[in-house]
Structure 1
Amino acid sequence: MDLESSNSSLLLPRLILYYQTTHNPDGTPISVLPLLTKPGIRVTHLIVAAIHINEDPDALTLNDHSPSDPRYVTTWAELRIAQASGIRVMGMLGGAAKGSYARLDRDQATFERYYAPLHELIRERGLDGLDLDVEEHMSIAGIIRLIDRLRANFGSGFLITLAPVATALVDERRNLSGFDYQALEVAKGDQIAWYNAQFYNGWGDASNPVLYEMCVACGWKPEKIVVGLVTTPENGFGYVHFGLLRHNVQLLQRQFPTFGGVMGWEYFNGEPGGRERPWEWAREMTTIVGPSHADTGVQAAAPRPVENPSTIEADHEEEGGGQPPPLPGDFAYYSDGSDRESSGIRKHP
């Protein structure tokens, strides 16, 4: 049984940040230490992204470089400090750059060759878990094999999460992964800590609570569904302003006392501080989700009062007046160090 799923150490709601852009275009590191040192911030998990399994089994990369590249010395050191401060640090495997899961979904001998460097990275860096962001076709047998191996190798305290698009939790046809998440939950739900569901880029809408409510109506436990958000309009379609977000998150917390939490894609440029003060998104979200509590049947702390309804309405109008979001096009891969403004490439987990 997964530790986060089996005892009172599970703190809800979670506040999770993805950390893919680890460096500025000039090569200087983007520090996560303000998440520890600035007041009023309660981040529970950091997910460093994105780990890629390449054609050469020994050429594992974190974005565009080897995880042992000197550019990551500061990154890994700060993540160890985060762990020492009580934040669980995970890795993210896969994402929009395809190939990692196709290579793990082959015969057993091929699986072993490609899995071995991933195992070594997790062990060497002392990661607390692995987030499986499957945005390419993979068989359900293949994802089960990977989950089983991670659990066997790293024990019950190791966190295994998945990052489906939110629509995949209610309709297997609106899916990027190839397998049915409801079937996976039936088969291996006791080994999966939670799902970082992407409520953005046309695969979900965080500007209202309906899709989350549909997930629960379909049988998903609220504590296993984390609402995934873009932290700024720069990071994808579907950004929700804080006023409306406060209203919706706190509505869900009242409906579901074991609400799973929120995650943000991603850290380095989150609103309202942007690149200069990226930690401010986490501070705003801390005021929205409130203090954490152990999942022992205790009711969540009373949420803060909802902001002025007129403010909420204005926020909603800015997001398109509730119109259905367009279906997304193909996602282009963006890695840290690239110049987003000049390339025009949109990043996606």
Structure 2
Amino acid sequence: MAETGPLGGRLLVMYYRTHHDGGRYRSPLALTARHTGLTDLVVGTVRLDTGGVVSLNSALPGAPGPAPMWADLAALREQGVRVLALLGGRRSFARLDHGFRTNYPPLKAFLRHYRLDGLDLRVPEPMSAGVTERLIDRLRADFGADFVISFAPTATELSGGSTPSALHYDRLYWSRGDEVDRFHVRMNGGGRDRTAAYERIVARGVIPPGKLVFSAPTSLSGSDDEILAGDELKTAVAGLLRRCPGFGGVAGWAYWEYVDALADPTDEPWRWAQEMGAVLGLGAGRARGR
């Protein structure tokens, strides 16, 4: 199993999907320069395309555009931040489901080439339990115990509700829970009832809170309702820390994308992470050990 974060396993995770905006490169380095306490950066979205091609945001890996990003990600890793890839997109999991032998090797090569520390699985389409278990087993065998394997289900999916992936997460945890490091629980929907939804998942007793990361949208982009922001979000997370012993931490969706979460955010894209890090007891130069 991969090592957890500091201070009882609390994690501060940021998703990083906007690598360029208007032709200008958006670097993630401020997340450590500003001492946010970041433990993990999830880079997305990685897609499995036809012909064994692995793409990142529809660009071929190694193209001139992503080159400075990969250098910055290597620098973050040198500072103790884990860098994960987010696997998602249309047909990626269907390709694994129907052609694992063809489509897994390019994914493995991509992860190895860029020396990534883990893989976050956001499954938006049907995927059989058997292939999901096979993927977990192969990742663990190929990359070892320190490689992070995480899933990004919705709160509804972890509450026993319906899922577009057709995955039964309770059964998945019963069969492979020891090999899954964490679940970044997407708290979309429900307005300001997100903390209650998280606590209901904890109360079910299937997955321990140390493996449940509270994943919140950082802006209204891609969200159909209100977001928790600023002091309100800090108060909500502080409450979860008190009420849920072993609380797994917080994830933000996503860096450079929070338009409404904080005052004047475009000049300080790191601030959301910095404020969450302070609530979690991270930051001020503290980084998790390897």
Give the TM-score, by structure 2 length: 0.91
- Cα pair 1:160 1:192 within 8 Å, conserved: yes
Identity of aligned residues (%): 35
- Closer, same or farther in 2 for the Cα pair 1:205/1:226, shift >3 Å? farther
The residue type paired with residue 214 of structure 1 is R
Give me the whole-angstrom Cα distance separating, in 2, the residues matched to 1:146 and 1:255: 34
Which protein shows a greater Rg?
1
Q: Give the root-mean-square deviation of aligned CA atoms.
A: 2.1
Does 1:275 find its partner at 2:266?
Answer: yes
Does 1:216 find its partner at 2:212?
Answer: no
Q: For 2:47, which of 47, 52, 71 is the aligned residue?
A: 52
CA displacement 1:255-278 (0-9 Å, x = unmatched): 222101110111013332433321
**Bigger share in helix:** 2
User: 1:10: how far off?
Assistant: 7.9
Q: For 2:77, which of 74, 78, 83 is the aligned residue?
A: 83
Q: Counterpart of 1:105 in 2: which secondary structure? A: helix
**Taking CA–CA contacts closer than 8 Å with sequence separation of 6 or more, which of the two structures ends up with the larger relative contact order?**
2
- Cα pair 2:128 2:167 within 8 Å, conserved: yes
- Cα pair 2:199 2:244 within 8 Å, conserved: no
Aligned to 1:24: 21
Give me the whole-angstrom Cα distance separating, in 2, the residues matched to 1:45 and 1:21: 16
- Cα pair 1:229 1:264 within 8 Å, conserved: yes
Q: For 2:223, which of 221, 236, 250 is the aligned residue?
A: 236
Does 1:34 find its partner at 2:34?
Answer: no
CA displacement 1:296-331 (0-9 Å, x = unmatched): xxxxxxxxxxxxxxxxxxxxxxxxxxxxxxxxxxxx
User: 1:37: how far off?
Assistant: 1.1
Does 1:249 find its partner at 2:237?
Answer: yes
Give me the whole-angstrom Cα distance separating, in 2, the residues matched to 1:185 and 1:226: 15
Aligned to 1:4: 3
- Cα pair 2:160 2:170 within 8 Å, conserved: no
Aligned to 2:102: 113
Aligned to 1:343: none
Structure 2 unaligned segments of length 5 or more: list them. Answer: none
Give me the whole-angstrom Cα distance separating, in 2, the residues matched to 1:10 and 1:168: 28
Does 1:92 find its partner at 2:78?
Answer: no
- Cα pair 1:199 1:205 within 8 Å, conserved: no
User: 1:205: how far off?
Assistant: 4.9
Q: Counterpart of 1:92 in 2: which secondary structure? A: strand
Q: How does 1:162-241 map to 2 (within 5 A)?
A: 162-173=151-162, 175-200=163-188, 202=189, 205=191, 207-219=193-205, 220-237=207-224, 238-241=226-229
Give me the whole-angstrom Cα distance separating, in 2, the residues matched to 1:100 and 1:25: 27
User: 1:209: how far off?
Assistant: 2.3
Does 1:71 find its partner at 2:70?
Answer: no
Give me the whole-angstrom Cα distance separating, in 1, the residues matched to 2:243 and 2:151: 24
Deviates more, 1:9-18 or 1:63-72: 9-18
Give me the whole-angstrom Cα distance separating, in 2, the residues matched to 1:223 and 1:67: 34
Does 1:141 find its partner at 2:130?
Answer: yes
Give me the whole-angstrom Cα distance separating, in 1, the residues matched to 2:130 and 2:236: 36
Structure 1 unaligned segments of length 5 or more: list them. Answer: 295-349
Give the TM-score, by structure 1 length: 0.76
The residue type paired with residue 33 of structure 1 is L
